């Protein structure tokens, strides 16, 4: 397949996008923009995105992605509360870096999540991509966990998630969603740079 055929396939998929996927993508991009700006509106806009993607992921047979969007929904509510806590005071939750212990815990959390998801998808579902689905979802679980704690390294996990999700959703026919993850990838890189700068300024 040459570059023209790939581009045409992308355009065909883009024009075939359903309204649910379109709305989900728009709110997903808005949510990441708010996250970059360290704005609490990341959570209500994210909730719209994640609830719609629970449905879309089930339709696509991406069951781990459905579970991760359910997790996003719960963690968004928790994050909303945590980011609101003591807002406007010197005790507000600030951006911090991960310690060696934090990194170890994050890696353990990621690895165990991937193994569990891979095993569950292989044994109990008709998933055709259990390894890839489990990997992308485990990275996303880890990123969301760190984001609620305002750890700057959450962006590293989002970069990994986006790199894994672009081909995953494209292979399932969700062209606009794969494009969303390409946008997310760029925004995640920018978010990492910006959060590191904010962290240094707050120290």
CB contact at 8 A, 68 and 137: yes
* 50-107 pLDDT tens trace: 999 999 999 989 998 898 899 889 988 988 888 887 545 556 678 999 999 999 999 9
pLDDT band at 14 (very low <50, low <70, confident <90, very high): low
* SS3 per-residue string spanning 120-155: HHHHHCCCCCHHHHHHHHHHHHHHHHHHHCCECCHH
* 128-160 pLDDT tens trace: 999 999 999 999 999 989 988 899 999 999 999
pLDDT of residue 87: 47
Q: Where are the domains of the chain?
A: 18-84+97-202
Cα–Cα distances (Å) from 179 to 13, 21, 162, 165, 188, in that order, read: 10, 12, 10, 10, 14
Measured from the Cβ of residue 193, the count of other Cβ atoms closer than 10 Å reads 13
Q: Collect all residues with Cβ–Cβ distance below 8 Å to 196 and sequence separation of at least 6.
A: 152
pTM for the structure as a whole: 0.81
pLDDT of residue 104: 97
Please give the Cα distance from 159 to 114 (Å, whole number): 17
């Amino acid at each position: 397949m040459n570059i023209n055929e790939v581009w045409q396939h992308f355009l065909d998929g883009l024009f075939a996008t359903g309204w649910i996927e379109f709305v989900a993508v728009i709110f997903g991009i808005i949510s990441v923009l708010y996250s970059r700006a360290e704005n609490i509106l990341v959570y209500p806009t994210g909730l719209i995105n994640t609830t719609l993607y629970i449905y879309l992921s089930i339709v696509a047979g991406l069951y781990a992605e459905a579970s991760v969007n359910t997790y996003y929904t719960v963690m968004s509510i928790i994050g909303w509360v945590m980011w609101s806590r003591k807002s406007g005071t010197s005790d507000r939750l600030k951006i911090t870096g991960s310690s060696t212990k934090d990194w170890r815990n994050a890696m353990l959390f990621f690895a165990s999540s991937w193994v569990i998801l891979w095993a569950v998808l292989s044994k109990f579902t008709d998933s055709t991509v259990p390894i890839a689905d489990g990997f992308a979802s485990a990275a996303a679980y880890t990123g969301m966990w760190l984001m609620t704690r305002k750890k700057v390294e959450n962006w590293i996990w989002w970069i990994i998630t986006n790199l894994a999700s672009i081909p995953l959703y494209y292979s399932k026919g969700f062209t606009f969603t794969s494009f969303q993850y390409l946008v997310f990838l760029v925004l995640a890189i920018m978010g990492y740079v910006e959060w590191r700068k904010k962290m240094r300024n707050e120290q």
